[in-house]
Each structure stands twice: as structure tokens, then as C-alpha cells.
């Protein structure tokens, strides 16, 4: 069973996270399926624009805490999990195709990071996004330690990480982190319409634009990913962090 669906609508490839029973929480299988779907879209000459969204009541609820024991079992499993996560960021940001995020419900941790990795974001008015990593004793990745301060400033970025407070779609729009806020039932249509408009532009010019924009990021973002990789390994291997994750996982399961 695949946790990611793809569908072509003209020149637009719609990529949908499809694990709604777990709010599209990040598992090893979902990461592999998403990477394969993104890479196929990037390599497909018929695809001009990618739209990334999630099935069910969340875009992506972050790491699946039920899999934390398996992910953190040893150094090799920790490294593999982080590498899988960072492959998604590299595909979204360094791939030649522009990516429109259609984001609703919860975008938590890694889900928030993927939203920030998109080129344009259409948010549903029910969007709630936050970083729980500091409370869990974990660490952010997705290159956000570089991207977020550049986008909204050092102090505001630190506030999002240190406090982990829930942010609404309107709050994120005021920060410049989303482009449109629309009702839930209009979100996907709005994102697909924007993607179709982008697809009408010059494909070569768009490829040059994305390459130029990310060229400046390649060194700094790659370095940030390396530093985040090391910090996340340390967090996964920390016994205190493991205990914190177990407590949060128990609370979440009771809340479902």
C-alpha cells in the first residue's frame, strides 16, 4: 500500500499524502513513497508544476511517534530516518519544478517544514502550524534554521521554535509564510488554478528562475541541512528526549 497518490491534471502533478488515519504522520514508508512521487514528477516532461497536499483532516502531523522506537533503535536507523526526511527537502527546493503547497488542518514539525519548502503556499483557513521539537527534546530540519530567519527575522523565528505556539493561517500570512488563505473547500481548487497559471509561463524561464533562486541557497542550505542532521542525531539518541517523546505519544493516542 502506498501512502502517496499522484494524479496528472494537464501539466500539473497533484501529489497527495494519503495516510489520513494517522493524519499523514511521517513514517519511513511515507517518506520513501513521497520521494518517489516527487522524483517522478520532477523527471516527467509532461509535468510543469507540482501541487503538494494531504488527504483527510491534516496536511501532515509530523513524525509518527509510534515509530520513534524503531527510528531511534541505533545509529544506522537514526541516520536513515533523517536522510529520508532531508531527501524530501532537497527534492522540493532543488528540483526544477515549482511546488505549490495546498495546506490545511495540522502542519506540525516536519509537515510545517515541508510547507516552508514549497515555492508558493495556499493555506486553508483551518490551518494550524507549529514546531513541537523543543518540547519533545528533538530538533528541526528541512533547512529551516536557515530559511526561517531569512524569511521572518531572527527573533520571530526563535519564538516559533522556542515556544512552539500554534500559528493560524492568518498569522502565517502576516509573517509572509503563506500566499493565500481561503476556505477549506476552496483550497485545492485555488492551488490547482495557481499551478495552471504557472504552467502557462515559460518552462525554461521558470527552470532558470528556480535554479538561480536556489543557487544562492545551495551552499548555505546544504550546510544548514548538515548541521541539522548532526543535531537531530544527537536528539534522537538522547535518553531524556526519548522519554519526552514517549509521554507525548501516550497523550496523543489518548486524545484520538
Q: What is the pLDDT of residues 97-116, one digit of tens each?
A: 999 999 999 999 999 999 99
Residues 6+ apart with CB under 8 A from 116: 142, 144, 147, 148, 151, 177
Is residue 48 within 8 A of residue 12, CB to CB? The reply is yes
Q: Per the structure block, which three cell numbers stand in for 42? A: 520532477
The confidence band for 72, taking pLDDT boundaries of 50, 70 and 90, is: confident
| 44-58, 112-126, 175-189, 201-215: range with lowest mean pLDDT | 201-215
Per-residue pLDDT, averaged over 211-229, amounts to 81
- The structural domains of the chain, ordered by start, are 4-186 (3.90.226.10)
- 108/114 Cα distance (integer angstroms): 10
The confidence band for 251, taking pLDDT boundaries of 50, 70 and 90, is: low
Average pLDDT, rounded, for the chain: 92
Amino acid at each position: 500500500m502506498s501512502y502517496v497518490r499522484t494524479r496528472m491534471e494537464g501539466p500539473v502533478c497533484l501529489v497527495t499524502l494519503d495516510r489520513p488515519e494517522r493524519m499523514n504522520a511521517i513514517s519511513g514508508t511515507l517518506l520513501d513513497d513521497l520521494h518517489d512521487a516527487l522524483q517522478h514528477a520532477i523527471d516527467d516532461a509532461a509535468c510543469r508544476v507540482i501541487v503538494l497536499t494531504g488527504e483527510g483532516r491534516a496536511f501532515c502531523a509530523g513524525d509518527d511517534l509510534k515509530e520513534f522506537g524503531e527510528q531511534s533503535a541505533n545509529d544506522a536507523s537514526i541516520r536513515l530516518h533523517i536522510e529520508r526526511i532531508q531527501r524530501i527537502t532537497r527534492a522540493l527546493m532543488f528540483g526544477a519544478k515549482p511546488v505549490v503547497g495546498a495546506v490545511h488542518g495540522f502542519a506540525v514539525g516536519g509537515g510545517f517544514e515541508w510547507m516552508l519548502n514549497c515555492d508558493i503556499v495556499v493555506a486553508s483557513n483551518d490551518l494550524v502550524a507549529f514546531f513541537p521539537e523543543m518540547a519533545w527534546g528533538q530538533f528541526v530540519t528541512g533547512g529551516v534554521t536557515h530559511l526561517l530567519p531569512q524569511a521572518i527575522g531572527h527573533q520571530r523565528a526563535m519564538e516559533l521554535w522556542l515556544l512552539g505556539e500554534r500559528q493560524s493561517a492568518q498569522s502565517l500570512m502576516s509573517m509572509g509564510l503563506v500566499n493565500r488563505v481561503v476556505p477549506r473547500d476552496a483550497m485545492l481548487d485555488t492551488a490547482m488554478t495557481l499551478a495552471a497559471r504557472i504552467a502557462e509561463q515559460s518552462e525554461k524561464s521558470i527552470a532558470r528562475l528556480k535554479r538561480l533562486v536556489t543557487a544562492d541557497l545551495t551552499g548555505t542550505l546544504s550546510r544548514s541541512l548538515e548541521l541539522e542532521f548532526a543535531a537531530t542525531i544527537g536528539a534522537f539518541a538522547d535518553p531524556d528526549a526519548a522519554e519526552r517523546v514517549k509521554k507525548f505519544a501516550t497523550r496523543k493516542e489518548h486524545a484520538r
